Amino acid sequence: LPGGSGLELAEELCRARRRLEVILATGGAAPDVTARSASMRVLEKPFSPDALLQAVEAALRRRAER
């Protein structure tokens, strides 16, 4: 991304919209990335369609619980 990384964008989205669930797909997440935000989930590439589906379903469940 011009001027920043995908992680920086995801973090800004989480700060700006507290109820927004973010799923970040990354080629190599640092271990601390997953702890940065409760509303951000990280999928490390390559991931399966099932892993993506599970992440989306979990995000929708968390959103419905709020």
pLDDT in tens, 4-13: 888 888 888 8
Average pLDDT of the chain, as a whole number: 82
Whether pTM exceeds 0.85: no
d(CA 15, CA 26): 20
* CA pair distance 23, 63, nearest whole angstrom: 13
